[in-house]
Structure 1
Amino acid sequence: MSGQRTEPAPETPPPDPAVRIGRIAAEGTTLECSVTPSASLRRFFTGEPFRAEYDVPIESVPDAILAIPVLAQVCPVAWAAGADVYVATVDRTFATALGEVEATLASLYPFIEGGDLYARAFAEPTLEVGRGSTDTGLLFTGGVDSTCSYVRHREEEPTLISIRGWTVTTDSSDDETWDRLRSRVSAFADERGLETAFVESNALSMLDHPMLLAHFKRYVDGGWYSSVGHGLGLLGLCAPLAAARELSELYVAATHWEGVDLEWGSRPDIDDRVRWTGTRSHHDAYELTRQERIDRIADYVRTEAPELPLQTCNVRIEDNCGRCEKCYRTAVGLRLSGLDPTDHGYPREALDYDAIQRGLENGDWILGEDERYMWADIRDRVHETDPQSPAERAFFEWLLEADLDGLVDESGSPLSHRALRAGARNTPTGVYTRIYPVWDAAKGVYRRFA
């Protein structure tokens, strides 16, 4: 953050605006602590204590490392409000990393005011785990980006880490989805002799995302977590796991690439700076466009994994629907890299070129600037590809002439959602608290924008 300061009077309530992290309890595989915002920040928090569940005991992990997951979620909100954060102890290396990440976010977003981090101790823990280890971890979903990172680093035999709490929520309604994701990732790992790690956290539900969007949506292309918080947040969640499993390196796959000028919460100048005692993080494959990542996957398919599955669907996580924009886009990308999408988890209709063109022309999907870049990347490859059917030829010809800028929804969400955000932004906290149940009922609308 802007500065590291020793807390002079820990029993004294911090001044407003501020957030205090309570005692961090680690019992077995469970991490929990309270988060207490001052009055002006309460609207950005739901009142839930922070929780994270790991699949390995974390009781022996030092408190300074255990503080990292909650700080990684809370600090960006505090920076946006110009608030200080108070915690009993924190790893000194991570505290330094927070200052560097805050500086990056401040360079991207005008609303990032920064703040100080107060602790009774900035610790430099001695770790038996993590010291001298060459083991690596990879945040993994089975999509194009994380699969490409696996292909690039497969000789390191990385532990595949999957996190529940963002695209798969901790709501009981998502239990079956999470079970299917675990099964799919475990099957991928078993076939390759890899270890897996699964983390569950309420990192998002402890934050009030509708209110964060109400205040800051006008500054970001997408949602709060995707635009601001997820690089630091997801990597920070891995800190106790990395210490317990002796992971010295963590890879997170790039979404964008060099030349894509977008504000995004996971970037080289964020992820490469996230570190703590024993572990460093790396933003991987940023030098490759998405189509070039598919090329890397295609090389691996042809030499080692002819039926490699991919899962990229925006609608469901257990398989690919073949009808959403991301399924269509990935299927076209696979075809341009010389692969048959049906061999890799996509139904045949995912290459229905007439449906793709109609959907793009009719605005059937809310597309942001990142999708525009990805379709432009595909268009660049179309120049080098001979069509294999009249339908493909017609689509390629249309795409080469299409106004991709016109496909982008500048608002990022329907008018009704923007009206709700404007209302919440101008609602006093006391009134907002009384109407919260009504607002909470609309939260499902925002899940895709988180």
Structure 2
Amino acid sequence: MSSTPSSSAIRIDRIDTDGTDLECTITCTDDLRRFFGGEPFRVSYDVSIEDVPEGVLAIPVLSQVCPVAWATGADVYVPEVDETFAHALGDVEETLLSLYPEFMEGGTLYAGETIDVEPDLESGDGETPSDSGLLFTGGVDSTCSYIRHREEEPTLISIRGWTISPSAAHDDRWDDLQSRVQNFADERDLESQFVESNMLSFLDHPMLLAHFKRFVDGGWYSSVGHGVGLLGLCAPMAHARGMENLYVAATHWDGIDLEWGSRPDIDDHVRWAGTQCHHDAYDLTRQERLDVIADYVREHSPELQLQTCNDRMDGNCGHCEKCYRTAVGLRLSGLEPTDHGYPFSETNYHDLRRSLENGEWILGEDERYMWEDIRNRVRETEPESAAEREFFSWLETADLGELVDESEPPLSHRALRAGARNTPHGVYTTLYPAWNAAKNASRRLGL
């Protein structure tokens, strides 16, 4: 980090709390205005944060703006911040700079005061505090992490704002997720917490993509921001609840080196007074995580339901790539998919192969690694039917690299992004609605 102030800057101006709600306003230099949506940053919790120190209240917004600052060489100014988290940001910055040397420039955090916050010894409701928390969706990864840490009786934390938008159009999806997580928690006598934020509309995600998509494999938040971003959102709630450990389940595993914003060398650095974050189950492949789940099902929870669908939140459609992949993985771990939320029969093996061969799904490197993981297990497994034998035989020799979509973005998308990158902010602000409409139209037309 440079010790000389940058001409580009982001300032945290105001942090307000109202019961369970947090709101922050920022200002920034003109060159950075395009990266922010123009609305205050907001988070809502299920626990009062009125007594949380301001140095901890600053963590959620800093977790969103600092990666943007590092990508643009900007400095960040905040009146007060928890000293432990300030050091954590330096460690996370070092990882992102090494991960994305093509565009990450770094910056300096200037705090009016760094404070050594004392952890809460009592939860916000006066009851015994929760010693640990787990970001939880009910999918394979987070369910495996729950099983690994169930002796700690972790509070299950679900977040709205990334894969489920805070817009009214996603209310049903959020209701479905809350219902499933709450039922899972109730059946195991666990606490739950639900967090809602506007972090993606607070950031101008399309503009971040316009500038940096050419350097990352996915979206800005998935490739850069979501590790520190999601964990940082939890800081006021974790402080109020007295959480010493906060777990986030790994998506990838040791040996997979993909551009992804949640990794051990990011998440394990995130910490604040009284709380250490952990990137969990990185030592297990996805199939091995399903083995952990299978053992738990056989010993403790025969009716366990998983939720991984890309298309639905009120159950699994059974026909998207992720549903098929999970169903096959469950079978390889000795479970019947239909018992755990996935309609699946022998005829689906034929449909699955046809869809993969015909390129009906846009698959990335993540999916290639996951199908390779399944293939490794297939080579150790005796098929139980002719249909399974035929699919396993095909999978053993299939060129999984050919299933990955490595095509360049359509020329129209590249032109739109280039135009957005090179447009002065004042002009961009006027033209953005038209630019966004054109982008969406080109997507609908398949351009």
TM-score scaled by structure 1? 0.93
- Residue matched to 1:353: 349
Match of 1:56 among 39, 47, 52: 47
CA distance in 2, matches of 1:347, 1:329: 12
CA distance in 2, matches of 1:282, 1:211: 31
CA distance in 2, matches of 1:3, 1:350: 60
SS in 1 for 2:151: helix
Q: Does 1:124 find its partner at 2:120?
A: no
Q: Structure 2 vs 1, CA of residues 333 and 150 (structure 1 numbering), >3 Å: closer, same or farther?
A: same
- Residue matched to 2:166: 170
- Residue matched to 1:78: 69
- Residue matched to 2:26: 35
Query: 1:102-140 CA deviation, whole Å, 9 max, x = no partner?
Result: 000011102110000011101112233479977100000
Q: Is the 8 A contact 2:14 2:26 kept in 1?
A: no
By how many angstroms is 1:162 displaced?
0.2
Q: Does 1:146 find its partner at 2:142?
A: yes
Counterparts in 2 of 1:319-330, with a 5 A limit? 319-330=315-326
SS in 2 for 1:204: helix
- Residue matched to 1:239: 235
Q: How many residues align?
A: 438
CA distance in 2, matches of 1:343, 1:446: 41
5+ residue gaps, structure 1, are 6-13
Q: Is the 8 A contact 2:144 2:289 kept in 1?
A: yes
By how many angstroms is 1:37 displaced?
2.1
Q: In the alignment, residue 204 of structure 1 is paired with which amino acid?
A: L
Match of 2:403 among 403, 407, 412: 407
TM-score scaled by structure 2? 0.94
Q: Structure 2 vs 1, CA of residues 438 and 402 (structure 1 numbering), >3 Å: closer, same or farther?
A: same
Q: Is the 8 A contact 1:366 1:413 kept in 2?
A: no
Match of 2:105 among 113, 121, 136: 113
CA distance in 2, matches of 1:23, 1:238: 19
CA distance in 2, matches of 1:146, 1:247: 18
Match of 1:427 among 409, 423, 427: 423
By how many angstroms is 1:404 displaced?
1.0
CA distance in 1, matches of 2:118, 2:87: 17
SS in 2 for 1:316: coil
Matched-pair identity in %: 70
Q: Structure 2 vs 1, CA of residues 369 and 187 (structure 1 numbering), >3 Å: closer, same or farther?
A: same
- Residue matched to 1:98: 89
Q: Structure 2 vs 1, CA of residues 373 and 225 (structure 1 numbering), >3 Å: closer, same or farther?
A: same
Deviates more, 1:209-218 or 1:47-56: 209-218
Query: 1:245-280 CA deviation, whole Å, 9 max, x = no partner?
Result: 111100000000000011210011100000000100
- Residue matched to 2:151: 155
RMSD over equivalenced CA pairs, Å: 2.2
CA distance in 2, matches of 1:25, 1:434: 31
Q: Is the 8 A contact 2:130 2:154 kept in 1?
A: no
Q: Structure 2 vs 1, CA of residues 438 and 124 (structure 1 numbering), >3 Å: closer, same or farther?
A: same
Match of 2:211 among 215, 218, 234: 215
Deviates more, 1:308-317 or 1:354-363: 354-363
- Residue matched to 1:24: 15
Q: Is the 8 A contact 1:134 1:249 kept in 2?
A: no
Match of 2:225 among 223, 226, 229: 229
- Residue matched to 1:67: 58
Q: Does 1:45 find its partner at 2:36?
A: yes
Query: 1:29-64 CA deviation, whole Å, 9 max, x = no partner?
Result: 000011222111111111111000001110100000
SS in 2 for 1:348: coil
Match of 1:266 among 258, 262, 268: 262
Query: 1:56-105 CA deviation, whole Å, 9 max, x = no partner?
Result: 11010000000000000000011000000011100010000000000000
By how many angstroms is 1:3 displaced?
6.6
Q: Does 1:189 find its partner at 2:181?
A: no
Q: Is the 8 A contact 2:134 2:248 kept in 1?
A: yes
- Residue matched to 2:289: 293
By how many angstroms is 1:403 displaced?
0.9
Query: 1:379-402 CA deviation, whole Å, 9 max, x = no partner?
Result: 000001111222211111111111
Q: Is the 8 A contact 1:4 1:95 kept in 2?
A: no
Q: Structure 2 vs 1, CA of residues 231 and 68 (structure 1 numbering), >3 Å: closer, same or farther?
A: same
CA distance in 2, matches of 1:350, 1:162: 34
Deviates more, 1:53-62 or 1:388-397: 388-397
CA distance in 2, matches of 1:418, 1:301: 47
Q: In the alignment, residue 333 of structure 1 is paired with which amino acid?
A: G
By how many angstroms is 1:227 displaced?
0.6
Q: In the alignment, residue 23 of structure 2 is paired with which amino acid?
A: E
Q: In the alignment, residue 89 of structure 2 is paired with which amino acid?
A: L
Q: Is the 8 A contact 1:79 1:102 kept in 2?
A: yes
Q: Structure 2 vs 1, CA of residues 350 and 84 (structure 1 numbering), >3 Å: closer, same or farther?
A: farther
Q: In the alignment, residue 96 of structure 1 is paired with which amino acid?
A: H
5+ residue gaps, structure 2, are none
Deviates more, 1:227-236 or 1:312-321: 312-321
By how many angstroms is 1:210 displaced?
1.1
